[in-house]
Amino acid sequence: MVDLNLLADKIAMVTDIGCSGLFDTFFNVHALHGIHGRALTYATGLKLADPELNVIVTMGDGGLGIGGAHVLAACRRNLDITLIILNNFNFGMTGGQYSATTPTDAVVGSEFLNQAEMPVDICSIAESAGATFIARCSGLDKDLPEKICQAVRHKGFSVIETLGMCTGRYTKKNKLSPKILDQLTASLPARSGIVGKNIRPEYGKRYRELAGGRDIFPMPVSIEKKINLTDYQNQQVAILGSAGMRIVTAGDIVCYAGLLAGMNVSMKNDYNITVLRGQSVSEILISSNKIGYTGIESPTVVLALSAEGVQRRAKIFAHLKPTTFVVKEKSVAIPETRADVVEIDFRELKIKKEDWALAALGVMAKKEKAINGEMLQLSLESRFNEKTYLGSMGIINNIMNLETI
């Protein structure tokens, strides 16, 4: 650090658990000592929060194994952090158990377990994961300080693997000397710094460039009351459809319509985690009172648009009141009900399935159930851009002009 001519307050050492975790206590710099294998995660937060800081991470072969996902992510990201991996081939503190870098033929504290696995070459992994600087040498190599200086100066993610001797554990049962470390280094692919094929912009700089262009703060959707309705009754609208039928969008439109009339609204949706498959049910409340429970207990309007959606709420049909208005697409069967059912053949009207929910809103507006034509028109105007608005009004007008309903 003296060679690098860096001020102590411009350096943060980030370490994790294990012998390598003592590293930060040897230096008079900022220090963050955290959980086993997670040092790179703290380092990432620090570096992005304070780009001026030189962040140096140490971890052992233990941290490398347990925090492998973070090593890969750091290589891919190329944030300007220096990672020094102090590889001494075993877990020293806990009794010399095998790690991700223990040779298969080593004698370790894990009995025979290491003999059934192969060690990783972290430098090769780092290269394929996109690290822009990779170096490897013996921990006793006289060039190590210079390598560290190069790594810290490098603008991007740099990895140095040092091969070292765990004198407390590993070397007691395995032959290892400074000379053997040099031989071992020589037997592995040479890693001496810049990885030309991976060179690309440093992540922090790139992030700031990309984020810097996004300067428009999204304001919340705000809908002013535009329609005065006298005697508006509270509404509970259930839209029963399938994923891909724009059920949630239709629910949004009903909410907007309610808001335009100065009402409180809520909408909860019920769908499975699968994308574009399964039921999609939207339940909307429109009320002049503050809304508490957001489920539907007694629907005033039900749109039955797919078998899956109806199936999901099959139980409600038996309890619908005679005043409940049900729009049922011709192809969709519904359980027996006392409700006021209007059947409509959207297929015959050449309306695409993804527009059935929208078209059903047209039926509601035409019959003045929960919403009227003005509410729907203003709602579509607020919810959509001009092109979509005009397209949707085309469908709505077709429905409104039908003489059969």
Partner 1 sequence: MEGNEALARGAIAAGCNFFAGYPITPATTIFNSMLKMLPAKGGICLQGEDEIASMGYCIGASMAGKKALTATSGPGISLYSEQISFAVGSEIPLVIADVQRLGPSTGSATRGADSDIQFLQWGSTGGVPAIVLAPRDALDCYVLAVHAFNYAEEFRCPVFIASNKEIGMTKESFDLDSVILPPIVERKMFSGETYLPFAAEPDKSPPFLPIGGKTLVRQTSSTHGPDGFITNDPEVIAANQERLRAKILSAVNRITIFEEDIKENSDTLIISYGVTSRAVEDGAAILESKGQPVSTLTLKSLWPVPEELLVEKAKRFKRILVIEMNLGQYVNEIRRVLSGRKVEFYGQMDGVLITPAKIVEVFGNE
Residues that bind partner 1 (CB under 8 A): 8-10, 12, 14, 17, 24-25, 28-35, 38, 40-50, 52-53, 69-70, 72-73, 207, 211-212, 214-218, 220-223, 252, 255, 258-259, 264-273, 291-295, 297
Phi, psi of 292 (to 5 degrees): -100, -100
Q: What sign has the CA pseudo-torsion 61, 66, 72, 75?
A: negative
Nearer to partner 1, 30 or 136 (CB): 30
Nearer to partner 1, 48 or 341 (CB): 48
For the CB of residue 224, give the shortest distance to partner 1 in the complex, in Å: 11
Size (the chain), residues? 405
Nearer to partner 1, 126 or 165 (CB): 126
Nearer to partner 1, 17 or 327 (CB): 17
For the CB of residue 341, give the shortest distance to partner 1 in the complex, in Å: 25
For the CB of residue 347, give the shortest distance to partner 1 in the complex, in Å: 30
Nearer to partner 1, 94 or 192 (CB): 94
Q: What sign has the CA pseudo-torsion 295, 297, 299, 304?
A: positive
What are 266's two structure tokens? 């809520």
Q: What sign has the CA pseudo-torsion 30, 33, 34, 35?
A: positive
Q: Please report how the helices 373-383 and 386-400 are oriented relative to each other, as an axis angle in degrees rounded to 10.
A: 160
Q: Maximum distance among all alpha carbons in the chain?
A: 95
For the CB of residue 311, give the shortest distance to partner 1 in the complex, in Å: 16
For the CB of residue 272, give the shortest distance to partner 1 in the complex, in Å: 6
Nearer to partner 1, 129 or 176 (CB): 129
Query: What H or E segment, with its residue span, contains residue 151?
Result: helix 144-153
**Cβ-contact 279, 311 below 8 angstroms:** yes
For the CB of residue 237, give the shortest distance to partner 1 in the complex, in Å: 13
Query: What H or E segment, with its residue span, contains residue 358?
Result: helix 356-366
